[in-house]
Every structure is written in structure tokens, then in C-alpha cells.
Amino acid sequence: MTLEELKHALRITHDLDDKMLETIKAASEKFIKDSVTLSKERDAFFIDNPCFDDAVMMLCGHRYENRSAVSNKNLQEVPFGVMSYIQQFKGEYPSWTTDD
């Protein structure tokens, strides 16, 4: 997913936060991948995977909107939808590695 695709999904129309969004995107991708497996061969599993892209968008949106550790809102560390995807990926990954 490109930065422009992420910005479109998050409805961000300016360039002021591009550097921060790139950092959030990279950290979100790494968090999700590391939560599934630490295998060096893992990247192919996540390429062209719309569920992975959706999970990254959700986590990026959450981190972008909740940048401060101080808030009056009841915050979740990781959105439930992202955790659901991670569980799904953990189930799919072992069979994907044996199929390839």
C-alpha cells in the first residue's frame, strides 16, 4: 500500500503529516507481521493480501488519531479488528508455508 492510498483511506488531504504517516505505516506493518511470524520468508504471504492492507489501514488510523498517550476517551491499545485479522493470519500462515 502506498502513502497516497493510506492517506485516501484515512481521508487526509494535506501533506503536513506525510513523514509521520510513513513511520506509522512502517511500524504498523512490522507489528502485524511480527505478531504472525518472525520467519524471514514471510513477506510473500502479506503481498497482495487485502486483509493485511485493511489491518494496516485500521492500525494506522488508530495510531494517527490517538497520537497522545493522554486522552479522555476509553482507548484500546490495538483495535479489535486488527487483532481479529492477526488471529486469522496466524491460522492461515502455517498452511500457506506448507503449500508453497
Q: What is the pLDDT of residue 78?
A: 82
Is the domain 3-99 a CATH 1.10.3230 member? yes
Q: CA angle 7-13-19, nearest 5°?
A: 55
Kindly state the cell numbers that stand for 11. 481521508
What is the spatial distance between Cα 53 and Cα 28, in angstroms, rounded to a whole number? 10
Kindly state the cell numbers that stand for 83. 487483532
Span 54-78, average pLDDT = 82
Question: Model pTM?
Answer: 0.87
Question: Which residue do the cell numbers 497482495 mark?
Answer: 48
Span 5-28, average pLDDT = 97
- The residue that leads in pLDDT, 28 or 76, is 28
pLDDT above 80 for 99 = no
- For the chain, give every domain's residue range: 3-99
